[in-house]
């Protein structure tokens, strides 16, 4: 049996043991993502960053997350069709989905968000990485992702966030460069 399946079965075995923990895993997998988005906006609103920097952070964080989830993940899923674990294995299923399993869209979205936040503020970023990991692992426990789906989504999300962050940074620094053709406008 593949390591991926063994690790899935080990984590998924945590489900179905207690209504309290099942509810906790469902909350972490399905509802914590909404709280994380609201938390980011609240932290940004009450932060001491300049208004322009806040707008840049919003642009980078959300464009990274959306490109990772709705661009890269969907492109991969267009070519690679991995069924959900509950379609192939006897699982304790707490959630369901009718989309392909690899890579995890939630992991891509929230690891992109965490990476982008981390590139601006390391302290906030660490908290967002912990939350992204909780969301991702809970989706394995809930029976709708293999661990490799999570790893794939996390790598996609982090890579997209780095690319967007450095692309925006390069564009914004070159737009202020005196040698730029638009500098005299």
**Secondary structure of residue 179 in the 3-state scheme:** coil
pLDDT at 1: 62
3-state DSSP assignment of residue 64: helix
pLDDT value at residue 74 = 96
**Would you state the pLDDT for residue 177?**
52
**Residue 44 neighbours by CB under 8 Å, 6+ apart:** 54, 57, 58
Burial of 104 (0-12, 13-18, 19+ CB in 10 A): buried
Res 146: pLDDT: 95
Q: What is the per-residue pLDDT for 92?
A: 87
List, for residues 125-183, the tens digit of each pLDDT value: 999 999 999 999 999 999 999 999 999 999 999 999 999 999 988 887 776 554 444 44
Chain centre to alpha carbon of residue 137: 12
Give Cβ neighbours of residue 73 (< 8 Å, ≥ 6 apart): 103, 104, 105, 108, 153, 156
The burial of 75, by beta-carbon neighbours within 10 Å (0-12 exposed, 13-18 middle, 19 or more buried), is given as exposed
Q: What is the pLDDT of residue 175?
A: 62
pTM above 0.85, yes or no: yes
For residue 169, the model assigns a pLDDT of 86
Q: Which residues of 149-178 are buried (b: 16+ CB within 10 A; e: fewer)?
A: bbbbbbebbbbbbeebbeebeeeeeeeeee
pLDDT for 11 equals 94
Tell me: the pLDDT tens digits for 36-95?
Answer: 999 999 999 999 989 988 999 999 999 999 999 999 999 999 999 999 999 888 898 888
Q: At what angle do helices 105-120 and 32-46 cross, to 10 degrees?
A: 20
């Amino acid at each position: 049996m593949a390591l991926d399946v063994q690790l899935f079965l080990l984590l998924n075995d945590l489900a179905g043991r207690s209504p309290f923990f099942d509810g906790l895993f469902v909350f972490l997998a399905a509802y914590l993502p909404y709280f994380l988005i609201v938390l980011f906006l609240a932290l940004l609103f009450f932060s001491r960053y300049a208004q322009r920097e806040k707008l840049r952070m919003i642009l980078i964080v959300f464009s990274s997350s959306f490109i990772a989830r709705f661009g890269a993940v969907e492109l991969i899923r267009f070519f690679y069709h991995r069924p959900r674990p509950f379609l192939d294995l006897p699982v304790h299923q707490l959630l369901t989905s009718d989309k392909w399993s690899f890579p995890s869209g939630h992991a891509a979205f929230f690891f992109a968000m965490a990476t982008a936040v981390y590139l601006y503020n390391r302290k906030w970023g660490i908290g967002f990485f912990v939350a992204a990991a909780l969301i991702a692992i809970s989706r394995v426990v809930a029976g709708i992702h293999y661990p490799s789906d999570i790893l794939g989504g996390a790598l996609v999300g982090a890579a997209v966030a780095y690319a967007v962050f450095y692309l925006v940074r390069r564009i914004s620094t070159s737009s202020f460069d005196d040698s730029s053709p638009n500098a005299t406008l």
